[in-house]
Structure 1
Amino acid sequence: MELVLPICEALKCFGHLTCTYMEHHRKLERRMNDLLAKQRQLNAIKSDVEMKIKTELRLGRCVRQEVENWLLDVQTINGKIQNIDERTQNLSCFSRGHLGKQVSQTVEEVKEIIEQGRFTGALVIDDPSTAGVPFQLEHLEGETAVLADIWKHLMSDEIGMVGVCGMGGIGKTTIMKHIYNQLLEETKSKPLFEKIIWVTVSQDFNITRFQQDIADAMNIEDLPKPEQKRAAVLRNELRQIRHVLILDDVWEGFVLEKVGIPIPIFSNGSRLVLTSRSNVVCRFIGCSEIVEVPPLSNEESMNLFLAHTGRGILKVPSLEEILGDIVGECDGLPLAIAVIAGSMKGIYDVVEWRNALTELGDHVTSVKGTDKEIYGRLKFSFDRLEDSNIQNCFLYCSLYPEDYRIPRVELIEYWIDEGFLERGNRQQLHDRGHTILNRLVNNCLLEKAGDDVKMHDVMRDMTLYIKHPYFMVKAGTGLKELPGKQEWKDVERVSFMMNMVSEIPPSLSPNCENLSTLLLQNNESLERISESFFQHMHSLSILDLSYTSIEQLPNSVSTLETLNALVLRGCKELRYVPSLEKLKALRKLDLRGTGIEKVPKGLEMLANLTYLNLCTESLKELPIAILPRLSCLQCSVLYVKLPSVKMNGLEAARLRKLEVFEGRFNELIDFNAYIKSIQGRELTSYLLVMASPKAKFDARPLVEGLNNAFFFNFELLGDCDVRNVFKIVAGHQVGSPNCAEAPFGSHPVARWRLLYLHPALIALVALPQSPSHYTF
């Protein structure tokens, strides 16, 4: 009897294990499907994270270690899932239970990684490997005495806070950039300070955003939400290091302790420098020493002017007096001198200079008040652009947040959508866009910032002054709700991008019949938009809701018959888009990275569509015969990873105007049909993937890994006879795993390169004669 109970318990335990084993055995297929579904969800989040990293990554920034670790976890789990999937293809009956258990455990792992990937803060931080990244410096003329004075105060043990004051455009920021770079250089040889921190405060002061900017500069992750706790964390971190904190462009007074900035004193050896247009602000914050930046002298002004125009103009007879008068009208303001000189560069006709002097004088005397007089001088250079489309291109930059580094390609895409670049093929439009940007930079209307551009805050003020009340711009100001309907009356362009708006309620139905552009992108907490919001926007042309959390678009979007561009990129929660049947004017539809499972109804009716992006993991069907109806497509991105979506090669081949194309073919016959159709056509960029329905390979990391330049690319995956494909495509048989080059008839490419990458993967890469200026 004593042995019976242990035996029963053992049998019960064994029975439980057996039942569990049988359950794993029986439910293997269902759990495998669950695992693959979770993997698709995970990779969609990964794609969103990588896209956000690309938008946030700038000079001197790097990906947070937490994000790097998460991406590695995703890579590891994807490898594990691939291994499991391969094992399911050749599985004995006895192994099913064990594998079923592993699948079940892996599902839980994927769920955990998905939760870890819902990052709330910035994905990138300042590069911790350096004390800071030097600025690209502008020409400094005449401010050497001011620079020396500031430096002397910084090196003194008696002064902890210095204010640098002067009117807009006088050169405060330029001087401090030179100071910042000099501090970085000094820190390398003799470390006076452990950290040099630069934070731009700007006109729209928001304490939460300000605290986050300081935290980012300090590489502090995950600030708490309550303002006081955030301040405590910052205060504690700053007290531990000897630092110089430079606050640029401060417009209003604030209490340092409330933000979390400890007051610099002799014992901690730290320094605080701030620039402001008002010495009252400097004194309110507590600066014991204030340095005024004076206007340039006549000689200094002339030297700076000639530095921008070139001294060749001095050789023109009778120009010296006019030149002196024009420099005098600049009133010693470095920004005005640089901008006006930029607009006159390359002009040697005395008549034009004399006319310019008259126009400049009229601009200055037409307005009163210090700031407006500066705007008058700057507007002179704006007016000299003459071409209204180029002027509109310049004005458009003011829709971005103050001091924001604007990606060139993104900006050009907006210009194309707005029609500023007129007509032409995609490559021609981008070439014209880059040409305009180069002109604006060369004329000092915009600043070069690495590969991006920036608009000086005074230039931005000037453009908003010009466009008042037709531009309403509250971009990147920490806005939590949209302005009331009375503020929308006369607006033509509205930008609320990069804010914290969570809902647009039914009470907001603004009467704005002239509104043409509405930018709401990067309001990541935005979940709901009321039906009535678009009710009176009958002239709306551009609607950008990218990287918001909306789950569905209101049906009222279907009535926006003048809409040219509907941009929903990165709206991963989006499941429903209403019928587009009435949107006959629509030329661009971007659904990349959304959660839609079906293409919107009425898509086939959009005969004017020139840009279509359906690159999304969730898309489950592409209706038959929909592509040929879109006869105007220039740039179509239809790369869909899910094998359930079948791309028809003959349908794709009928899109004769395509210049940029990305797509996946499951069948060799479709791949062949499309390849034959594009011979002799002038596509500027395309990525074609040939893969069997079972292939689960992501081509884009391969594309990015092969070459940083843009190029054409073919990739073939899975169970297909690549030798036959290459005979058809390139007229070249694959003989060895070595790279080989082959001609491709009359197709406009420099060369083709065959790359052996894996027994199941061979890539045919075609390098273009000249790199494309744009990507997807």
Structure 2
Amino acid sequence: MGGLGKTTLARKVYNNTRIKNHFAHCAWVNVSQEYKTRALILDILKCVGPISEETYNMSDEKLKGELRDKLKGKRYFVVMDDVWKPQFWDEMRACFPNDSNGSRILITSREKEVASNAGSNPPYFLPFLDKEESWELLCKKVFQEEKCPSNLESLGRQLAESCKGLPLSIVVLGGILAKKDKTPQTWSNLIGNVNWFLIDDDNKRCSDILALSYSYLPRKLRVCFLYVGVFPEDFLIPARTLIQMWVAEGFISVQNDSRKMDEIDVAEYYLEQLIDRSLIQVASRKSDGGVKTCRIHDLVRDFCIKMSIQEKFYEVRVNSADLRRSSNSSIPRRLSIQGVGFVPIIIIIIKTHQDYICRLRILGLKPLDWKSWETCQLTDPKD
């Protein structure tokens, strides 16, 4: 299941200095539910070394051979994160030479069948945290290096235990507690307002905690948080792009801000606030400490999309068939289309929704084999 910390653990291994020094080549690729083998091979090749224009023009089979040749005789470590389909390894197997030199491939997945199909080594199943580990993680998130006050420990342990050992739930809950008054009354109210104890489904429990975190967000942050769900699964979101989109959408207000900050500064502050609440994760930072790229967990993204549909804020389409099934009445003001080319998208929209295309304010386009994110801000008929 999601939220156990598979990617977090894999990333700690991948970023370890001893690992980097031990292997000649290290590569990380995010696979996700919708992927293109060719794009993944190119991503790995980029980690191995510079790519020529000729390489980009190779057929898929020649690309596999190119990667295999570059890894031949070298000790390599490749992480393939968030694999969903058992046949994935069959598609990638030919890329990796087995020279018995200590090379390693690490695959993370929620599906046991994926692990079984990938090799003979038994998979490692991440366990849920026990009560003490849950409490330690919650304390770390809420109090950083400080110790939990004795008058909060009993309540805190109850809250930690209610997460049933799911790290993502604990981290999100910690983000709530870190921003609330650290008093017994406040923490008691939290215990009384949720029914996690009665929920057996782990994904449902995590969703409820996300809903609680969302309800405690200031109104100005809610729309910014939901908006992050328009980006594709496992997408590394450029912070500058996200901030500019928030500003362009009119989500950022400086009228009542006493700190005399401009819109970009306020948007950056909003981003840091969402990061502090563990709703957005920092992927990389700039040299000055600012956020360069960020990401959100799959379960968090699912929550954003679900809430946005309920609030008619935006909708996400992942393929042309999904788009064709849409009724004219369901077209939202914002539409994120992922996984198909631009031309089919435009044709489908014109053919099936020509009477309602004027309702769209933002159209986001993301073909599977592109790493960039294209948005088109359409003219609002009210403007």
TM over 0.5: yes
| 2: CA distance, partners of 1:186 / 1:490 | 50
* Structure 1 CA distance for aligned equivalents of residues 368 and 233 of structure 2: 19
1:507 paired with 2:351, answer: yes
Residue in 2 aligned with 1:372? 204
Tell me which of 59, 69, 76 is aligned to 1:226. Answer: 59
1:461-503 Cα shifts (integer Å, max 9, x gaps): 22223334654335xx7x6898215266424231136863234
Separation (CA, whole Å) in 1 of partners of 2:321 and 2:67 = 28
Residues 25 and 47 of structure 2 are in contact (CA less than 8 Å); yes or no, is this contact kept in structure 1? no
Aligned residue for 1:198, secondary structure, equals strand
Give the 5 Å matches for 1:561-710: 561-562=381-382, 585=383
Aligned counterpart in structure 1 of residue 104 of structure 2, from 259, 262, 271: 271
Q: Out of 414, 417, 420, which is 2:245 matched to?
A: 414
> In the alignment, is the contact (CA less than 8 A) between 2:134 and 2:160 conserved in 1?
yes
The 1:488/1:200 distance shift into structure 2, 3 A limit, reads farther
Tell me how large the CA RMSD over aligned residues is: 3.4
Q: Which amino acid aligns with 1:382?
A: Y
User: 2 CA distance for matches of 1:487 and 1:382?
Assistant: 29
TM-score (norm 1): 0.42
**Residue 376 and residue 487 in structure 1: after superposition, are their counterparts in 2 closer, same or farther (change >3 A)?**
farther
Q: How many Å apart are 1:307 and its aligned residue?
A: 0.8
**Structure 1 residue 361: Cα displacement:** 2.1
Aligned-partner Cα distance in 1 for 2:154–2:216: 21
Shift of residue 309, structure 1, vs aligned partner: 1.0
Name stretches of at least 5 consecutive residues in structure 2 with no aligned partner. 286-290
Q: Secondary structure at the match of 2:38?
A: helix
Instruction: For residue 352 of structure 2, give the secondary structure of its aligned residue in structure 1.
Output: coil
Equivalent position of 2:364 in the other structure: 520
TM-score (structure 2 length as normaliser)? 0.81
**Aligned partners of 1:502 and 1:456: how far apart in 2?**
30
Q: CA shift at 1:520, angstroms?
A: 3.4
Relative to structure 1, the CA distance from residue 333 to residue 176 in structure 2 (aligned partners, 3 Å threshold; closer, same or farther) is same
Change (3 A) 1:398 1:349: same
Report the Cα distance in structure 1 between the residues aligned to 2:364 and 2:210, rounded to whole angstroms: 29
**The one of 198, 208, 222 aligned to 2:28:** 198
The amino acid of 2:205's aligned partner reads E
CA–CA separation in structure 2 for the residues paired with 1:173 and 1:480: 30
Q: Distance in 1 between matches of 2:329 and 2:45?
A: 39
SS of match in other structure, 1:332:
coil
> 1:27-67: CA deviations, max 9, x gaps?
xxxxxxxxxxxxxxxxxxxxxxxxxxxxxxxxxxxxxxxxx
- Closer, same or farther in 2 for the Cα pair 1:331/1:524, shift >3 Å? closer
**Residue in 2 aligned with 1:168?**
2
Picking from 1, 6, 13, the partner of 1:179 is: 13
> What is the CA-CA distance between 1:187 and the residue it aligns to?
4.7
Q: Kindly indicate whether the alpha-carbon contact (under 8 Å) linking 2:72 and 2:97 is maintained by their aligned counterparts in 1.
A: no
Q: Determine helix, strand or coil for the equivalent of 1:495.
A: strand
* CA distance in 2: counterparts of 1:525 and 1:255, whole angstroms: 16
After the TM superposition, which residues 693-732 of structure 1 pair with which residues of structure 2 at under 5 Å, given as runs?
Answer: none
The match for 2:326 is 486
Looking at structure 2, the residues matched to 208 and 544 of structure 1 have their Cα atoms a distance apart, in angstroms, of 24
CA shift in 2, pair 1:334/1:273, >3 Å: same
| Match for residue 231 of structure 2 among 379, 384, 400 | 400
Aligned length in residues: 359
Q: Which moved more, 1:225-234 or 1:421-430?
A: 421-430
TM-fit CA distance, 1:240: 4.2
The corresponding residue for 1:432 is 266
Q: Is contact 2:64-2:95 (8 Å) kept?
A: no
Structure 1 CA distance, aligned partners of 2:381 and 2:81?
Answer: 44
Partner of 1:464: 305
Distance 1:498 1:306 in 2: 41
Distance 1:217 1:465 in 2: 35
Report deviation, 1:447: 1.3
Residues 483 and 231 (structure 1), Cα distance of their counterparts in 2 relative to 1, 3 Å cut: farther
For 1:108-127, what aligned pairs fall within 5 Å after superposition? Answer: none
Matches within 5 A, 1:439-454: 439-448=273-282, 449-450=284-285, 451-452=291-292, 453-454=294-295
Partner of 2:186: 352
Over 3 Å counting, the alpha-carbon distance change for 1:185 and 1:512 in structure 2 is farther
* CA deviation after TM superposition for structure 1 residue 247, in Å: 0.7
Maintained 8 Å contact 2:135/2:157: yes
Please name the residue that 1:330 is paired with.
163
Q: 1:324 to 1:523 in 2, by over 3 A?
A: closer
Structure number with higher helix proportion: 2
Superposed displacement of residue 259, structure 1:
3.2
**The residue matched to 2:82 in structure 1 has which SS?**
strand
Alignment map for 1:62-73 (pairs within 5 Å): none
The one-character-per-residue Cα deviations of 1:428-483 (angstroms, maximum 9, x if unpaired) are 32232122111111111111221232222332122223334654335xx7x68982
Structure 1: how far apart are the matches of 2:212 and 2:240?
A: 28
Instruction: Report the Cα distance in structure 2 between the residues aligned to 1:487 and 1:512, rounded to whole angstroms.
Output: 10
Contact 1:201/1:210, CA 8 A, preserved across alignment: yes
Following the alignment from structure 2 to structure 1, what is the Cα–Cα distance between the partners of residues 366 and 31? 20
Q: Does 1:391 align with 2:222?
A: yes
Change (3 A) 1:490 1:388: farther
Secondary structure, aligned partner of 1:289: coil
| Structure having the higher Rg | 1
Runs of 5+ consecutive residues of structure 1 not aligned to the other structure: 1-166, 527-542, 547-556, 563-584, 586-776
Q: Which has the higher contact order (CA 8 A, sep 6+)?
A: 2
Q: Distance in 1 between matches of 2:154 and 2:355?
A: 54
Q: Deviations over 1:397-429 (max 9, x none)?
A: 111122333233322222223222235399532
CA contact (8 A) 1:491 1:515 kept: yes
Match of 1:251 in 2: 84
- Cα shift at 1:313: 7.0
Cα pair distance change 1:480/1:223, threshold 3 Å:
farther
